[in-house]
Amino acid sequence: MPDLPLSPGSSIGILGGGQLGRMLSQAASRLGFDVVILDPEDNSPAGRVSRGQIVAAYDNETALDVMGRVCDVVTFEFENVPASSVERLARAGALVAPGPMALAVAQDRVSEKTYLNAVGATTVDFAAVDDLEGLRAALDVIGLPALLKTRREGYDGKGQVWIRRKGDARRAWEAIGARPAILEARADFERELSIIAARGRDGAVGLYPPGENVHEGGILRTTTAPATLSPAVSRRARAIAEAVLDGLDYVGVMGIELFALKGGRLLVNEIAPRVHNTGHWTQDGCACDQFEQHIRAIAGWPLGSFEAQARVEMTNLLGPEVEQWRTASGEAGACVHLYGKGEARAGRKMGHINRVLGPARQARAR
Ligand code: AMP
């Protein structure tokens, strides 16, 4: 096991070579670390800005053993890496953060919601569904409308379908591929918020001021942060972050998506054991962004500042919208972040723009 805090010059491994890996790698390199990426696709967005990339599947044992040998700490940029890969890395001598427990909880929507409720972070009512008959029984308990989601591997609104009438059960079950699922009650939310929190190796927990998110078709469009929150809701957000991260003995940054109901009640929608799209605003709103914060945490450094210095609106550039860089690059207060991806397929996250709206203190509580 390496000595902590990790000294500059140490190597950090990242499983996954997408945009989150790229921005983590850039933050790590600012702190003097070398980064090695593991991703099955050659020339990945993260690989192109890192010391090196191993091109192999996430469960390739030889590749994992090399990662374990050359990296002092290994992290991941998406939650669907096989748990067995993380275990193998740990056996090869690498420190892995976040740990396998967080990965296991977040990979399955039923274990995730069960865990959240157990630590007092309330969610919508839900039921596990294993077959069509089970779905019909669950609809009787959960009521209508209800949202059927695959238990595993859903993201950006994929693998989920609304059920408005009981007669639609079969069609919905087939639409998600007749796979193990979860049925969720509809959250009647006023707005969607998210918490970007971090926990250090010493157990210290911090969180950025929550942001307000707008999704379309299940995909994030914008985050505006800091969101205007009453002191009571801010306190509740902190309590949720502490309970969720402490309960997993978590190390690193986590994204926690919330539904804010009328009257200020918060329900947790889901957690992501990694840096998060709704935390991109911190790159231009905070002295220490979520990517540096994650690297600090996993390297055993003290956590950085969570304070917002500016109010920021982050807009995702999806597919051909990436062309907006042409105008945004000449716009005062617009910070353009592009991921170096080739093909601008519809819905693909190609980049984002952080628009600085003004000083953070203008965000008043309501
Ligand atoms: P998810 O993939 O679970 O993050 O869901 C994507 C988006 O679908 C969320 O950001 C919400 O806008 C919406 N959504 C998910 N679950 C629910 C729910 N139980 N009730 C209402 N809207 C939901």
Write out pLDDT tens, residues 38-74. Answer: 999 999 999 999 999 999 999 999 999 999 999 999 9
User: What span, in angstroms and rounded, lies between the C-alpha atoms of 133 and 42?
Assistant: 44
The parts of the chain modelled with pLDDT lower than 70 are 155-157, 362-366
CB of 341 shorter than 6 A to ligand 1: no
Q: Whose CA is nearest to atom 1 of ligand 1?
A: 157
Residue of minimum CA distance from atom 11 in ligand 1:
218
Q: Is 152 in the pocket of ligand 1 (CB under 6 A)?
A: no
Task: Please state the pTM of the whole predicted model.
Answer: 0.96
Output the pLDDT for position 92: 77
Give pairs for 323-330: CB < 8 Å, separation 24+.
Answer: 324/353, 325/351, 328/353
- Non-local (6+) Cβ contacts of 60 within 8 A are none
What is the sign of the dihedral through the CA atoms of 273, 208, 28 and 317? positive
Q: What is the spatial distance between Cα 49 and Cα 1, in angstroms, rounded to a whole number?
A: 27
316 Cβ below 6 A of ligand 1: no
Q: Whole-angstrom Cα distance, residue 322 to residue 338?
A: 8
Task: Say if residue 226 is preceded by a cis peptide, omega within 30 of 0.
Answer: yes
Q: Which residue has the tokens 């600090």?
A: 296
Q: Which atom of ligand 1 is nearest to the CA of 186?
A: 20
- Domains of the chain (ranges; CATH) run 11-96 (3.40.50.20), 125-185 (3.30.1490.20), 189-359 (3.30.470.20)
Supply the pLDDT for residue 153. Answer: 85
pLDDT for 158 equals 74
Q: Would you state the pLDDT for residue 366?
A: 46
pLDDT of 255: 98
Is any ligand 1 atom within 6 A of the Cβ of residue 270?
A: yes
Say what the pLDDT of residue 280 is. Answer: 98
**Centre of ligand 1 from the C-alpha of residue 269, in Å:** 7
Distance in Å, CA 259 to ligand 1 centroid:
9
Regarding the beta carbon of 184 and ligand 1, being less than 6 Å apart is answered yes
SS3 of residue 179 by DSSP: coil
Q: Using the structure block, give the residue that is written with the tokens 């945490």.
A: 297
The closest of 267, 236, 272, 242 to 254, measured between CA atoms, is: 272
